[in-house]
Amino acid sequence: MKELSLNILDIAENSQKAKATLTEIILNETEDTLILEIKDNGTGMSEQTLNCVTDPFYTTRTTRNVGLGIPLLKLAAEQTGGSFKITSKTEGESRGTCVTAVFNKNHIDFTPIGDTVSSIVTLIQGHPETDFLFKHSCNSGEVSLDTRELRGILGEVPLNSYEVIKWIGEYLSEQYENLK
Amino acid sequence: MKSLAELQAIKDKMKDKVVIREGSGNVRVVVGMATCGIAAGARPVLNTFVEEVNNGGLAEKVTVSQTGCIGICQFEPVVEVYEAGKEKVTYVKMTAEKAKEVVEKHLKGGNVVAEYTIANFKA
């Protein structure tokens, strides 16, 4: 993947497949590190499955025998001297899956974060019936979006109506502009 | 500065439109958005379709949606066009530029862009 934002899009798609109603995408940046957390309240995975997901030759897809999403993100983090963790629960209040990747931003193999706005817009366009919480914080401030809040205003108007999608993209881009 | 009040205005404007849209849209554009598609560049392809379909006034007729792996990863980004009564058209190795052309020639003009279809790549 050329940008981490593409890994984010890819991993968050897994949450949709796991029937999550809320997917949280949290980016925390300091001078030297980036912590990415993608957390959902989906069906979760058994311990057995969890042990397999970082193996490229494990996949849920039926069209092919290779699943590269999780291994690619793990590699992107570890190649910067960072770390990768995935936890999951199939029952209880904390049901769901949480993926955490830590990156060394100053490492030569650090993949640029890229266009997060585009990834968030794409996720909402494809999954207007589920909710997303996006937060990207760094030294100069924070960018955030909570579709639950937008849904409260929009009522029956779907989140993937073009006017709404366009507004979300501009709303996020403007927040990023203000960080600079 | 964008505000949530603006969103309220969008909602008020769209309330009537929602009813009209239901039941219409007999053309479906489906973009493969699994790991293979995303890595190959499906994100800008999808967003270009969404943008161009709406800017071109095709929103009533065309819906743009996402799907998982279509199974031909070497041809990603893959876009399928479904139209009632017609055979499915599969576009392969798509880019944002090609997407614009497909909207203009195929979705608007009714002519399949044969050059970008899978038939052309397999031959």
Q: Residue A1: beta bridge partners?
A: none
pLDDT tens, residue by residue, A122-151: 999 999 999 999 999 999 999 999 999 999
Question: Which residues of chain B lie closer than 8 angstroms to A155, CB-CB?
Answer: 11
Interface residue of B1, B43, B54 to substitute, partner A, most A CBs within 10 Å:
B43
Q: Do B59 and A162 touch (CB under 8 A)?
A: yes
What secondary structure, in 3-state letters, does chain A show? CCCHHHHHHHHHHHHHHCCCCEEEEEEEECCCEEEEEEEECCCCCCHHHHHHCCCCCCCCCCCCCCCCHHHHHHHHHHCCCCEEEEEEECCCCCCEEEEEEEEECCCCCCCCCCCHHHHHHHHHHHCCCCEEEEEEEECCEEEEEEHHHHHHHHCCCCCCCHHHHHHHHHHHHHHHHHHC
Query: Would you call A167 and B10 a contact, using CB atoms and an 8 Å cutoff?
Result: yes
Q: Which residues pair with A134 in a beta bridge?
A: A25, A145
DSSP state of B35: H
CA distance B70 to chain A (A): 7
Chain B residue whose CA is closest to A167? B7
Residue A105 buriedness (CB in 10 A; 0-12 / 13-18 / 19+): middle
Gap between the Cα atoms of A7 and A9, Å rounded: 5
Mutation target among A3, A4, A6 for the B interface, most CBs of B within 10 A: A6
Query: What rounded mean pLDDT belongs to chain A?
Result: 92
- Interface membership of B45 toward A (CB under 8 Å): no
Predicted structure pTM score: 0.92
Is residue B32 classed as helix, strand or coil in its secondary structure?
Answer: strand
Residue A118 has pLDDT above 50, yes or no: yes
CB contact under 8 A, A171 and B2: yes
| Predicted-complex ipTM score | 0.89
Which residue in chain B has the smallest CA separation from A70? Answer: B35
Beta strands in chain B (DSSP E): 27-32, 62-67, 79-83, 89-91
A55-69, A89-103, A106-120: the lowest-pLDDT one: A55-69
